[in-house]
Protein backbone atom coordinates (compact mmCIF):
# COMPACT_ATOMS: atom_id res chain seq x y z
CA UNK A 1 0.00 0.00 0.00
CA UNK A 2 2.73 2.46 0.98
CA UNK A 3 4.77 1.49 -2.10
CA UNK A 4 1.73 2.06 -4.37
CA UNK A 5 1.11 5.46 -2.72
CA UNK A 6 4.78 6.42 -3.19
CA UNK A 7 4.66 5.48 -6.90
CA UNK A 8 1.43 7.45 -7.35
CA UNK A 9 2.99 10.43 -5.59
CA UNK A 10 6.11 10.29 -7.80
CA UNK A 11 3.95 10.12 -10.93
CA UNK A 12 1.89 13.08 -9.69
CA UNK A 13 4.99 15.15 -8.99
CA UNK A 14 6.52 14.39 -12.38
CA UNK A 15 3.23 15.21 -14.17
CA UNK A 16 3.02 18.48 -12.23
CA UNK A 17 6.59 19.40 -13.19
CA UNK A 18 5.80 18.69 -16.85
CA UNK A 19 2.77 20.95 -16.56
CA UNK A 20 4.79 23.74 -14.94
CA UNK A 21 7.57 23.58 -17.52
CA UNK A 22 5.15 23.23 -20.44
CA UNK A 23 3.24 26.38 -19.50
CA UNK A 24 4.57 29.37 -21.45
CA UNK A 25 5.99 32.24 -19.40
CA UNK A 26 4.61 35.71 -20.17
CA UNK A 27 6.08 39.08 -19.30
CA UNK A 28 4.13 42.25 -20.05
CA UNK A 29 5.29 45.80 -19.44
CA UNK A 30 4.38 49.30 -20.60
CA UNK A 31 6.78 51.93 -21.89
CA UNK A 32 6.85 55.17 -23.87
CA UNK A 33 10.57 54.86 -24.64
CA UNK A 34 11.41 53.86 -28.18
CA UNK A 35 14.24 53.82 -30.67
CA UNK A 36 13.54 53.69 -34.40
CA UNK A 37 9.91 52.76 -33.74
CA UNK A 38 10.76 49.83 -31.45
CA UNK A 39 9.92 50.00 -27.74
CA UNK A 40 12.79 49.90 -25.27
CA UNK A 41 12.78 47.79 -22.11
CA UNK A 42 12.20 50.76 -19.80
CA UNK A 43 8.95 49.92 -17.98
CA UNK A 44 6.74 52.76 -16.76
CA UNK A 45 3.33 53.15 -15.13
CA UNK A 46 2.69 56.88 -15.69
CA UNK A 47 2.31 58.46 -19.10
CA UNK A 48 1.53 61.84 -20.64
CA UNK A 49 -1.55 62.41 -22.79
CA UNK A 50 0.84 62.88 -25.71
CA UNK A 51 2.88 59.69 -25.27
CA UNK A 52 2.72 56.71 -27.56
CA UNK A 53 2.18 53.99 -24.95
CA UNK A 54 3.64 50.63 -25.89
CA UNK A 55 2.59 47.35 -24.32
CA UNK A 56 5.42 44.86 -24.78
CA UNK A 57 4.60 41.17 -24.50
CA UNK A 58 7.49 38.72 -24.13
CA UNK A 59 6.60 35.05 -24.28
CA UNK A 60 8.88 32.06 -23.66
CA UNK A 61 7.96 28.49 -24.49
CA UNK A 62 4.95 29.03 -26.73
CA UNK A 63 4.46 26.24 -29.26
CA UNK A 64 5.83 26.85 -32.74
CA UNK A 65 2.50 27.40 -34.36
CA UNK A 66 -0.04 30.14 -35.14
CA UNK A 67 -1.35 32.08 -32.16
CA UNK A 68 -3.53 35.09 -31.48
CA UNK A 69 -2.78 38.10 -29.31
CA UNK A 70 -5.60 40.29 -27.96
CA UNK A 71 -4.92 43.59 -26.21
CA UNK A 72 -7.81 45.54 -24.72
CA UNK A 73 -7.24 49.11 -23.51
CA UNK A 74 -9.86 50.29 -20.98
CA UNK A 75 -10.10 54.00 -20.05
CA UNK A 76 -10.68 55.50 -16.57
CA UNK A 77 -14.47 55.42 -17.01
CA UNK A 78 -14.37 51.66 -17.74
CA UNK A 79 -15.03 52.13 -21.47
CA UNK A 80 -13.17 49.83 -23.87
CA UNK A 81 -11.20 52.32 -25.99
CA UNK A 82 -9.06 50.17 -28.22
CA UNK A 83 -8.85 46.48 -29.06
CA UNK A 84 -6.00 44.95 -31.00
CA UNK A 85 -6.29 41.40 -32.34
CA UNK A 86 -3.11 40.14 -33.95
CA UNK A 87 -2.35 36.70 -35.33
CA UNK A 88 1.28 35.66 -35.24
CA UNK A 89 3.45 32.62 -35.83
CA UNK A 90 6.06 31.51 -33.30
CA UNK A 91 9.41 30.55 -34.86
CA UNK A 92 11.73 30.72 -31.82
CA UNK A 93 11.55 29.85 -28.15
CA UNK A 94 11.17 33.55 -27.26
CA UNK A 95 8.65 35.83 -28.92
CA UNK A 96 8.49 39.61 -28.42
CA UNK A 97 5.39 41.47 -29.58
CA UNK A 98 4.11 44.96 -28.97
CA UNK A 99 0.98 47.01 -29.47
CA UNK A 100 0.50 50.68 -28.77
CA UNK A 101 -2.02 53.31 -27.80
CA UNK A 102 -1.86 56.92 -28.96
CA UNK A 103 -4.47 59.30 -27.58
CA UNK A 104 -5.92 61.99 -29.84
CA UNK A 105 -7.91 65.01 -28.76
CA UNK A 106 -11.21 65.74 -30.50
CA UNK A 107 -10.88 68.08 -33.51
CA UNK A 108 -13.00 70.76 -31.83
CA UNK A 109 -10.47 70.98 -28.97
CA UNK A 110 -7.43 71.48 -31.22
CA UNK A 111 -7.63 75.30 -31.11
CA UNK A 112 -8.01 75.36 -27.32
CA UNK A 113 -4.87 73.18 -27.01
CA UNK A 114 -2.80 76.26 -27.84
CA UNK A 115 -3.84 77.80 -24.51
CA UNK A 116 -4.30 74.57 -22.51
CA UNK A 117 -2.24 71.48 -23.49
CA UNK A 118 -4.75 69.13 -21.83
CA UNK A 119 -7.81 70.65 -23.58
CA UNK A 120 -10.10 67.91 -24.83
CA UNK A 121 -8.08 65.20 -23.08
CA UNK A 122 -10.05 65.17 -19.79
CA UNK A 123 -11.69 61.80 -20.46
CA UNK A 124 -8.25 60.18 -20.88
CA UNK A 125 -6.81 61.38 -17.56
CA UNK A 126 -6.71 58.78 -14.79
CA UNK A 127 -6.20 55.04 -14.24
CA UNK A 128 -6.27 52.86 -17.34
CA UNK A 129 -6.24 49.09 -17.63
CA UNK A 130 -4.68 46.85 -20.26
CA UNK A 131 -5.78 43.23 -20.57
CA UNK A 132 -3.61 40.88 -22.61
CA UNK A 133 -4.76 37.48 -23.86
CA UNK A 134 -2.98 34.82 -25.88
CA UNK A 135 -5.18 32.35 -27.75
CA UNK A 136 -8.28 33.70 -25.94
CA UNK A 137 -6.76 33.09 -22.48
CA UNK A 138 -6.00 36.17 -20.37
CA UNK A 139 -2.32 36.12 -19.42
CA UNK A 140 -1.85 39.54 -17.84
CA UNK A 141 -3.53 42.75 -16.72
CA UNK A 142 -1.66 46.01 -16.24
CA UNK A 143 -2.84 49.26 -14.68
CA UNK A 144 -1.29 52.58 -15.62
CA UNK A 145 -1.97 56.30 -15.27
CA UNK A 146 -2.36 58.99 -17.90
CA UNK A 147 -1.60 62.51 -16.70
CA UNK A 148 -1.63 65.78 -18.65
Average confidence (pLDDT) over 58-62? 94
Q: What is the pLDDT of residue 110?
A: 53
Let me know if residue 4 belongs to a domain. no
Is the per-residue pLDDT at 17 higher than 60?
no
Domain count, the chain: 1
Reply yes or no on whether the pLDDT at 5 is more than 80: no
Q: Is residue 1 assigned to a domain?
A: no
Confidence of residue 15 (pLDDT cuts 50, 70, 90): very low
pLDDT tens-digit series, residues 66-121: 999 999 999 999 999 999 999 999 999 999 999 999 998 665 545 545 456 665 68
Expressed as residue numbers, the domain containing 103 is: 24-147
Residue 9 within a domain:
no
Res. 142: pLDDT tops 80: yes
Residue 134 placed within a domain: yes
On whether the CB atoms of residues 55 and 70 are closer than 8 A, the answer is no
Query: What is the rounded CA–CA span in Å between residue 133 and residue 142?
Result: 12
Helix (H/G/I), strand (E/B), else coil: 91: coil
Q: Rounded to an integer, what distance in angstroms lies between the CA atom of residue 102 and that of residue 65?
A: 30
At 38, is the pLDDT very low, low, confident or very high (cuts 50, 70, 90)? very high
Residue-level pLDDT at 14: 31
Q: Residue 148: its pLDDT value, please?
A: 84
- What CATH number has the domain bearing residue 94? 2.60.40.1930
In a domain? residue 11: no
Average pLDDT over the chain, rounded to whole?
A: 83
Amino acid sequence: MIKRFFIALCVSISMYSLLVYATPAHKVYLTASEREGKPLAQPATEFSCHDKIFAVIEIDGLTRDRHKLDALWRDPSGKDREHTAYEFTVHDNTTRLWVWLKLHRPMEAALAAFMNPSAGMDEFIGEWELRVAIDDKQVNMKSFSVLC
